[in-house]
């Protein structure tokens, strides 16, 4: 697989200006969020559903990347070198088939194996592109790539749909929706990088391989890396959803509008409680029986407090406190300030 520093530098030049601002934004989010992070909380229901979906998708990707589920490789299956005659290759393949008969796909592939170029394209783009393309020709290698391109991009598109669903505000809420732009950019970058690497691969390097062990089965390697890359991307998005949803990291402070709205709700609740308290107190004062019971309660309360303050233990404790353990001047000043703030007129409070 021809992939070196030149390709890495090209990818950095293309995706660096896009990914660098996102990395800086993520760093600032971590730094600012640490000031607002508190005790971890259980993941919200929407985030828990998103994590379950991503876990299932990751398991599917990893399972599909296993060799038993990969498309068949006739050279590895028959232990044949690249330069083997076509008849010998497919005779070996037929011996491995049920009843010793080639399938329709085998026959189409056999018709394509007319020269070394087609075999090299087979190792680069896989059996489907070579056997099923109706318009491709060996003298136009790019036509095979164009036919294989939808199959290369399709897993990325499906994965992008999954990421869009698990980061939807309607499904997972605000904590997950904030990661949608990052997930979309990462998925698009992975798709472009995948297609670019397949297109830039020098398939002619296999022409010098004389043994089976020397062949570079690029298509199968790229397929495995594609699925593992998608699994890693989804696992990373899932980790971000978990950390932000449970307040372990990436805690986003509330905006000014959200703070004002929360303050307004709290003030409205306090006002409603005060109104209810005023109604109850007004009712108690207007009703003769309730007023008598209220007066009796406060008379009894005053009597109990006087009796309590006259007990010897209480008197000794008060005297010990007044001897210097408590700054009565400071407490008196704070009490005066508090009382004055309660009875200030609204205009005076507004001026402050």
**Is pLDDT of 352 > 70?**
no
Exposed e or buried b for every residue in 309-333, given b needs 16+ CB within 10 A? eeeeeeeeeeeeeeeeeeeeeeeee
Q: How far apart are CA 330 and CA 173, in angstroms?
A: 49
Q: 292 is written with which tokens?
A: 């008598």
Give the tens place of pLDDT for each residue, 278-334.
Answer: 888 888 778 888 788 888 888 888 888 888 888 888 777 777 766 666 677 777 888
∠ at Cα 249 (247, 252), nearest 5°?
A: 70
Lowest mean pLDDT of 22-31, 242-251, 263-272, name the range.
22-31
Give the tens place of pLDDT for each residue, 19-69.
Answer: 677 677 766 665 555 555 557 778 888 889 999 999 999 999 999 999 999
Q: How far apart are CA 14 and CA 150, in angstroms?
A: 22
pLDDT of residue 65: 93
User: How far lies 248's CA from each of 179, 244, 256, 258, 312, in Å?
Assistant: 15, 6, 22, 21, 53
Q: How far apart are CA 184 and CA 161, in angstroms?
A: 9
Q: How far apart are CA 65 and CA 76, in angstroms?
A: 17
Exposed e or buried b for every residue in 42-63, given b needs 16+ CB within 10 A? ebbebbebbbebbeebbeebee
pLDDT of residue 254: 66
CA diameter of the chain: 115
pLDDT of residue 59: 96
Give the tens place of pLDDT for each residue, 109-153.
Answer: 999 888 889 999 999 999 999 888 888 887 888 999 999 999 999
Give the tens place of pLDDT for each residue, 152-172.
Answer: 999 999 999 999 999 988 888
pLDDT of residue 1: 44
- DSSP line for 52-109: HHHHHHHHHHHHHTSGGGSPP-HHHHHT--TT--HHHHHHHHHHHSGGG---HHHHHH
Residues in a beta bridge with 140: 137
Give the tens place of pLDDT for each residue, 68-109.
Answer: 999 999 999 999 999 999 999 999 999 998 888 888 988 999
**Is pLDDT of 212 > 80?**
yes
Q: What's 134-190 look like in SS3?
A: CCCECCEHHHHHHHHHHHHHHHHHHHHHHHHHHCCHHHHCHHHHCCHHHHHHHHHHH
């Amino acid at each position: 697989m021809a992939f070196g520093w030149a390709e890495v530098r090209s990818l950095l030049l293309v995706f660096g200006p896009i990914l660098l601002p996102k990395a800086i934004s993520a760093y600032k989010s971590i730094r600012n969020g640490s000031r607002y992070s508190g005790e971890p909380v259980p993941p919200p229901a929407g985030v828990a559903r998103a994590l379950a979906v991503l876990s299932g998708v990751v398991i599917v990707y990893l399972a599909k990347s296993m060799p038993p589920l990969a498309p068949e490789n006739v050279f590895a299956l028959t232990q044949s070198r690249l330069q083997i005659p076509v008849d010998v290759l497919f005779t070996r393949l037929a011996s491995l088939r049920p009843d010793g008969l080639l399938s329709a796909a085998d026959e189409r592939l056999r018709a394509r194996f007319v020269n070394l170029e087609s075999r090299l394209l087979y190792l680069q783009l896989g059996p489907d592109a070579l056997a099923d393309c109706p318009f491709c020709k060996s003298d136009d290698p790019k036509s095979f790539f164009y036919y294989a391109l939808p199959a290369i991009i399709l897993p990325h598109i499906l994965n992008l749909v999954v990421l869009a669903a698990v980061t939807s505000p309607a499904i997972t809420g605000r904590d997950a929706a904030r990661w949608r732009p990052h997930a979309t950019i990462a998925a698009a970058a992975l798709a472009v990088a995948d297609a670019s690497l397949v297109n830039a691969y020098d398939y002619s390097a296999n022409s010098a391989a004389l043994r089976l062990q020397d062949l570079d089965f690029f298509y199968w390697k790229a397929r495995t890396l594609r699925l593992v890359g998608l699994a890693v991307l989804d696992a990373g998005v899932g980790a971000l959803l978990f950390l932000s949803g449970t307040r372990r990291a990436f805690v986003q402070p509330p905006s000014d509008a959200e703070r004002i709205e929360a303050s307004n709700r709290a003030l409205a609740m306090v006002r409603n409680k005060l109104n209810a308290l005023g109604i109850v107190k007004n009712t108690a004062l207007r009703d003769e029986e309730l007023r008598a019971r209220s007066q009796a309660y406060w008379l009894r309360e005053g009597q109990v407090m006087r009796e309590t303050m006259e007990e010897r233990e209480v008197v000794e404790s008060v005297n010990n406190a007044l001897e210097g353990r408590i700054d009565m001047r400071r407490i008196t000043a704070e009490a005066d300030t508090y009382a004055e703030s309660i009875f200030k007129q609204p205009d005076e409070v507004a001026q402050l």
